[in-house]
Structure 1
Amino acid sequence: MAKPQEKVSFGQRLKQIWMVFKFTAKQDKWFMPLALGAVLIPLALTAVAIMIWGWLWLPVGILLTLLAVLIVLNLRSNRAMMNAAEGQPGAAAQIMETMRGDWRVTPAVSSTTQMDMVHLVIGRPGVILLAEGNPQRIRGLLGQEKRRLAKVIGSAPLYDYLIGQGEGELPIRKLRPTLIRLPRNLSGKDVNALDKRLKALTSRPQMPKGAIPKNMRPPRGNFRQTRGR
């Protein structure tokens, strides 16, 4: 469930906007030209309005300029973040955690040592599984998770998506609009009840499937010393 947002001061808000501005300018080559156009066009129209109707149009022009820049920043920053998130492990869960609405996100309810993972999302549409990783490995992991959840979700709808660029996969940039368009099958009470059942199911940590990496294995001598005690 989305946590209540803390109040942000005006200075902190400006700092956040500036960080988003720099990030977008670095990731998106079209952002600066579009932002420049968002500044120049309203200012040019404002200058014409001032010459015809007077200086009362100056505040209006400034507000229109700021609004145009913020619209461009919002559109291009979302695109830049989606491009940066492409192929990053755990990106789908991070995007879901920032979505507006009642989305209960449990990252990596099932995973492998090769960074394949399945995220669990509970919301008004029902139960949603988001799989990230190698398509050949993750499909088996996704199938296991679907069979495990089917025992406890009852009649709640179950959706599953494989995040990626291949055939039959969902590009991460389309994740938000795809889930927003899903029908609202459950009430708020149904979501709460389902969330409690699934929390009980997923509360036990699962060991990642696959070989343990060498840097995570205990030294060989430790096992022999333990046996000798």
Structure 2
Amino acid sequence: MAKPRNTAAAKAARAEARAARKAAAQQRRSQLWQAFVMQRKEDNRLLPYMIGAFVLIVGVSVMAGVAVGGFAIIMMIPLGVVLGALVAFVIFGRRAQRTVYRKAEGQAGAAAWALENLRGRWRVTPGVAATGNFDAVHRVIGRPGVILVAEGSPARVKPLLAQEKKRTARLVGDVPIYDIVVGNGQGEVPLAKLERHLNRLPANITVKQMDALESRLAALGSRAGAAAMPKGPVPPAAKLRGVQRTVRRR
């Protein structure tokens, strides 16, 4: 008698898993559509670029199929449609990402948010040092070594960055330390180009060395103090209110 019950329970579990996957897929499609609608409202060139890329790729595929002739015509049309849809989707993703970075640029916590969304084997520790004005230094461990990324007012953040670099150098030995200031000034890295800049740094250490380095640097802790970094970009007005609350508490 136990076997039918087990079979029924397994069927119910599979049905529940299918329903959960279906709901998750539906939610992703809904989020993607909302993102597309928002991007289309702000970006007048989005649809022309997407449609233009789709039509161009399909047209080239059809012409290639006609030139070859035979069965190639049947194969090239669906291939062109798939490739055209893929390129159009890539264009949408790139332009949406550019819009997100443009809106986040200059806001407190924007660099920390960008670092925590890095793709690849990066170990990010946000806010290892900070001021009461949300100027901050974030630590990234990767194949290049240790990268200290600063955001905020250059006048306040550069001394903070230099202090954190000295603290880090005591523990890392010969491991390279890079320092970056996020911004649009001379010698600074714009927020939208931060990930690309990190990926272009040379690989100097192995993944095993990264693990050992992460354990060693955990002993440094954080000097952010009362000025905890926000969980994402904060508009200037909200930033000012946060600072005022911090001052009142003190």
TM-score exceeds 0.5? yes
Q: Which residue of 2 aligns with 1:3?
A: none
Equivalent of 1:85 in 78, 82, 104? 104
Q: 1:199 to 1:33 in 2, by over 3 A?
A: same
2: CA distance between counterparts of 1:119 and 1:178? 15
Q: Which residue of 1 aligns with 2:47?
A: 32
Query: What SS class does the counterpart of residue 127 from structure 2 fall into?
Result: strand
- Residue deviations 1:94-129 (CA, integer Å, cap 9, x gap): 222222211111111111121211111111111111
Equivalent of 2:210 in 191, 194, 201? 191
Deviation at 1:84, TM superposition (A): 2.0
TM-score (norm 2): 0.72
Q: Which residue of 1 aligns with 2:221?
A: 202
Query: What SS class does the counterpart of residue 204 from structure 2 fall into?
Result: coil
Deviation at 1:161, TM superposition (A): 0.6
Residue 184 of structure 2 corresponds to residue 154 of structure 1? no
Deviation at 1:213, TM superposition (A): 4.5
Q: 1:59 to 1:109 in 2, by over 3 A?
A: same
Q: 1:215 to 1:47 in 2, by over 3 A?
A: same
Q: Which residue of 1 aligns with 2:11?
A: none
Tell me, which stretches of 5 or more residues in structure 2 are unaligned?
1-20, 229-241
TM-score (norm 1): 0.78
**Aligned AA (1:94):** W
- Superposed CA RMSD: 2.9
Q: Which residue of 2 aligns with 1:21?
A: 36
Query: What SS class does the counterpart of residue 172 from structure 2 fall into?
Result: coil
Give the number of the structure whose residues are more often helix, by fraction: 2
Residue 194 of structure 2 corresponds to residue 175 of structure 1? yes
Aligned length: 210
2: CA distance between counterparts of 1:17 and 1:157? 40
Identity level (%): 40
Q: 1:150 to 1:135 in 2, by over 3 A?
A: same
